[in-house]
Amino acid sequence: MAEKKVNYTLLSQRDEAPPPLQKLRGQKRRIWLWALAGILILVVNFTVAIIQSISDEDDGLVTSNKPGCPQYPPLESSSEERQKLEIEVRNELSSDAFSNKSLKKLQGAIQIPTESFDNMGKVGEDSRWDIFADLHAYLKEAFPLVYSRLDVTAINTYGILIKWKGSDDSLKPYLFMAHQDVVPVLPATRDKWTYSPFSAHFDGRYVWGRGASDCKNNLVGILEAFETLLEKDFIPKRSVMAAFGFDEEISGPQGAKFLAAHIEETQGRNSIELIVDEGGLGFKEMYGALFALPAVGEKGYHDVTITVETAGGHSSVPPDHSGIGILSQIIAAIEANPYSANLTPANPYFTTLQCAAEYGPDMNSNLRKAIKRANGSKAAAKSVANYLADQDIAQRYLMQTSQAIDIISGGVKINALPEKVFAVVNHRIAVESSTSDIKNNLKSVISSEILPKFSFSLDAWGDVTGNVSNSSVGRITLADFDASLEPAPVSPSDTDAYKTFTGTIKQVFGKNVIVAPSLMTGNTDTKFYWGLTNNIYRFSPVRDDGRANAHTVDERVGLKEHIEGVQFYTQLILNGDV
């Protein structure tokens, strides 16, 4: 286009009309210039196309014709009889009578302090588990139809497994999950609570207390859904199950692990149609639209112990660097080498962003274009990841592996150099990564930045390098602190189970809600259930302004939002028959 402008400019500068022959030559010259310009434009466009195709090929272009954020419609009643039942149930759950009843049931559960501690012993050996017997007795009293009509089994004493047998054995069951335990209330924080943490105080809007939003609201909500439908003498076609662990807050080794093993043993692998557990990002206003953000995946988990062993000695004649000093340098080197943010289609958060770009009217136009371009370009995806990581730390760790030094120990005497010190690094592993990547990275950082400074050996999970002639004095050891967990398999977002699940969200919370698959940076009890189904969705059905402060002071949940959650569980059970 620039060349055309130049030609026009040059022609316009001729003040005198040429003679006939000169005029003819001028016309021919102009024709040649036009032709040359056209050829140049074609060559440039062709070259750009070739470069772009090569760039895209090198960029790992994976273009999909599928929409970036498919939405499925709200579900509707399959018959007049079913519609009548749904209206009847909806009216009951919306009544003041149900609200009052629901409040008392939720309060009663919160008032039982089922705290789980990191150092809990085995069930039957540690008396701190005994409080769960009180919760069981309460639930049996609060939900008499569940306990009298359904198959309720205690697993490893305090795990609760409920089975509501359906009329059609060809349909795989739905499984609802929640956990009975809550994180402990630190004694030093009790006076900071607006209301006593186990009082379950209701202020007319919120129910306050430890476990109110994580996740006794889900536990009680599921049981309320069961009880409500049992009162209507409803018999599901599809069997419905519930599994309530009791140590989720300490990784579930005695609760969910035993429950999942029992279900797999009695039902078989891949025997469940759909699992809904707590978690996910719930609901969130983003870019001018309301999104429901169920987690279809979880990051992995790996804790690594770093131990430094030195000769020790008297503090009056210290070496230039004590064991604590060397460990501090290791920690500083680790923190100076963070993982980078990355965004690929393997990460459910990639889909979250595609949904935001598709349905968020207030999104910046440049960001929208970049996110859509990321659907076919690694370079564009990387630029989006870097931009969002700089804007918000929460978004950053949806796209990159985190590393946090959470425990450090060393030294017991003010005048004695410690012979052994250690720290524990917690990693939440990005979905594109693995525990082996964590090990290789730590080994690389220490080998390149620490070993050149100190004549130490490095024992990284049995692989010894560095000054291998040394004894344990002058050694750095890397080992697993606890069992590690690879990133969870990503659940599909195009199956019948997903369509029913998301169609129920829209049916209960509004057809304009955008359902966007997302990712959990933490882990739930579902890590033990991977063998039972591919359709695992972590979603707490509580609107964003209806809960606050999980795991900290003044935890609470809105009563109105809690009842809306009961409506969701109830409707999903009904929709399982469709």
Residues tagged active-site:
181, 248
Q: Do residues 500 and 489 lie in contact, with contact meaning Cβ atoms separated by under 8 Å?
A: no
d(CA 399, CA 182): 28
Q: Is the torsion defined by CA of 403, 406, 410, 413 positive or negative? A: positive
Q: What angle, rounded to 10 degrees, do the helices at 378-391 and 365-374 form?
A: 130
How many residues are present in the chain?
A: 578
How buried is residue 132: exposed, middle or buried, by Cβ count under 10 Å (0-12/13-18/19+)?
buried
d(CA 271, CA 55): 45
| Dihedral of the alpha carbons of 423, 426, 429, 435, in degrees to the nearest 10 | 40
The radius of gyration of the chain from alpha carbons, rounded to an integer in Å, stands at 31
d(CA 27, CA 19): 12
Q: What would the 3-class secondary structure string for 516-559 be?
A: CCEEECCCCHHHHCCCCCCCEEECCCCCHHHEECCCCCCCEEEH
Cβ within 8 Å of residue 343, ≥6 positions away: 349, 350, 353, 374, 381, 382, 384, 385, 399
Helix (H, G, I), strand (E, B) or coil at 165: coil
Instruction: Tell me: is residue 179 an annotated ligand-binding position.
Output: yes
DSSP 324-368: HHHHHHHHHHHHTSPPPP---TTSHHHHHHHHHHHH-TTS-HHHH
C-alpha distances in Å from residue 514, one per residue of 351, 356, 557, 563: 12, 9, 23, 21
d(CA 512, CA 502): 12
d(CA 477, CA 309): 8
Instruction: Tell me: is residue 214 an annotated ligand-binding position.
Output: yes
Instruction: Tell me: is residue 551 an annotated ligand-binding position.
Output: yes
Helix (H, G, I), strand (E, B) or coil at 513: coil
d(CA 213, CA 182): 10
Q: Which residues are annotated as a binding site for Zn(2+)?
A: 179, 214, 249, 277, 551
Q: Which residues are annotated as a binding site?
A: 179, 214, 249, 277, 551
